[in-house]
Amino acid sequence: MRHEAFWMPYTPNRAFKAAPRLLARAEGVRCWTPEGREVLDGVSGLWCVGAGHRHPRIVAAMKRQLDTLDCASNFQVGHPGAFELAERIAAVAPPGLDRVFLVNSGSEACDTAVKIALAFWRAQGQGQRTLLVGRERGFHGVGFGGISVGGMTANRRAFGAAMLRADHLRSTWDPATQAFVRGQPAAGADMADELERLVALHDASNIAAVFVEPVAGSTGVLVPPLGYLQRLRELCTRHGILLVFDEVITGFGRLGAMFGAQALGVVPDMILFAKTVSNGAAPLGGVIVRRQIHDALMHGPPHLAELMHGYTCSGHPLACAAGLAMLDVLAEEDLLGRVRALAPHFERTVHELASTPGVVSVRNLGLAAGIELAPSPAGTGQRGAAAQAAAFDLGVLTRAPGDTLVLAPPFVSTPAEIEQMAERLRAAIVQTHTEHPEGSP
């Protein structure tokens, strides 16, 4: 097979094409290469397949949908699946958040939320509130709204001139006190007070919204200190700033509750979701909006759209069928309960990796963990990339933002499968460490 034409997303294309890693089939927590070699899915696709690959109920629902209605726009007409999905998502969201805008990805969800925030303030007669506040090492997708409010340098570097106005809180990551903390760090709630500094600098009257991930996933699983999100909520309320949780990773079960907002006990004004909502079986995402924000925008001439925004495939029938089936599976198989039951074993297992040579940090919450390696003097990310490739060869899929290896297994993994994933990861770390010992590139 030729590999030249496909410009792969978020992939070092030249290195990949020199040594391709391909998956041809998947079921449950396992994938297989075209040669038939088994690879345990330690990252749920890409934080997507909580219910496991090719869940029969989701596959059947999607097949039924394709046999009934394959394509229907939601522009000025609608189809039942989108209305039903929105109602059911509203029913499991925190109280007060019950209006749902459907999109196809996390990035679209982020840019949609930015637009809703800006349009909301304009409708309130406060159109000067255009500054967005994000957080260093935050990831909010790859749209221009998302990279502006996001805090990942590499995502911003090449596109600086095109960004929206944004400022950033510092990351909650503190290696001196958090390197091997299990769950939420006890100290550090006061890091949220930095919002006061940004308010003093810019004035609250200019700030539209604060965007944070409850747990920063894409930069290597950074867990918020106890009380941090509560404090951020208090400060946003005090200054009249909208609080947006990007739950693209934490939404639909990863922390043992439907949303991180519920798992961590803080209600934002908007929640972004994608990934697990459809079990990754179809592109689907969305924004859950506080009723008052939605209602404030329901004005203007009745023949015009109240929000000039939407995507051809917003609420696509196939994606909605997958989402509805996933909600059924989450409830019927008590997947949230399974995550809560598995999380302590997962925590113990990943923290056993702390003694592996080259590991400088292990952190976790729910079914998400980051295992960080000491960087190579030759450059950040080299050891991570080498360990990720070795892990694939040894039979476990992981992700390596920088030098952190991520484990985010499907919710349906057994304790034995978690241990197997961790063992294969350990072997990959040891192999990488042997090939690139401390002090060598």
- Taking the C-alpha atoms of residue 440 and residue 437, their distance in angstroms, rounded to an integer, is 6
- Taking the C-alpha atoms of residue 26 and residue 38, their distance in angstroms, rounded to an integer, is 9
Under DSSP, the state recorded for 376 is B
104 or 432: whose CB is closer to ligand PLP? 104
State which residue has the least CB distance to ligand PLP. Answer: 106
Give the rounded distance of the alpha carbon of 340 from its chain centre: 19
The owner of tokens 């996001």 is 150
- Shortest distance, position 47 Cβ to ligand PLP, whole Å: 6
- Shortest distance, position 200 Cβ to ligand PLP, whole Å: 28
- Shortest distance, position 112 Cβ to ligand PLP, whole Å: 11
- Shortest distance, position 144 Cβ to ligand PLP, whole Å: 13
33 or 155: whose CB is closer to ligand PLP? 155
Q: Which residues contact 360 (CB under 8 A, 6 or more apart)?
A: 175, 179, 372, 373, 374
47 or 346: whose CB is closer to ligand PLP? 47
SS3 for 333? coil
- Shortest distance, position 82 Cβ to ligand PLP, whole Å: 19
Contact 361, 438 (CB under 8 A): no
| Binding region for ligand PLP (CB under 6 A) | 105-107, 110, 139-141, 213, 217-218, 246, 248-249, 274
Sheet holding 396-397, edge to edge: 25-27, 30-32, 38-41, 396-397
**Structural tokens at position 131:** 């500054």
273 or 394: whose CB is closer to ligand PLP? 273
Q: Which of 157, 141, 153, 178 is nearest to 47 (CA)?
A: 141
Q: Which of 31, 82, 7, 91 is nearest to 321 (CA)?
A: 82
- Shortest distance, position 388 Cβ to ligand PLP, whole Å: 16
108 or 403: whose CB is closer to ligand PLP? 108
- Shortest distance, position 248 Cβ to ligand PLP, whole Å: 4
Contact 350, 68 (CB under 8 A): no
Q: How many residues does the chain have?
A: 441
- Shortest distance, position 382 Cβ to ligand PLP, whole Å: 22
- Taking the C-alpha atoms of residue 321 and residue 289, their distance in angstroms, rounded to an integer, is 22
358 or 384: whose CB is closer to ligand PLP? 384
Burial 45-68 (b: 16+ CB within 10 A, else e): bebbbbbbbebeebeebbeebeee
12 or 377: whose CB is closer to ligand PLP? 12
256 or 280: whose CB is closer to ligand PLP? 280
247 or 403: whose CB is closer to ligand PLP? 247
Under DSSP, the state recorded for 399 is B
- Shortest distance, position 270 Cβ to ligand PLP, whole Å: 13
- Shortest distance, position 152 Cβ to ligand PLP, whole Å: 10
211 or 417: whose CB is closer to ligand PLP? 211
- How many separate helices (H) and strands (E) can be counted in the chain? 16, 14
Q: What is the dihedral of CA 62, 8, 138, 183, to 10 degrees?
A: 70
Signed CA dihedral, 175, 178, 184, 189: sign only: negative
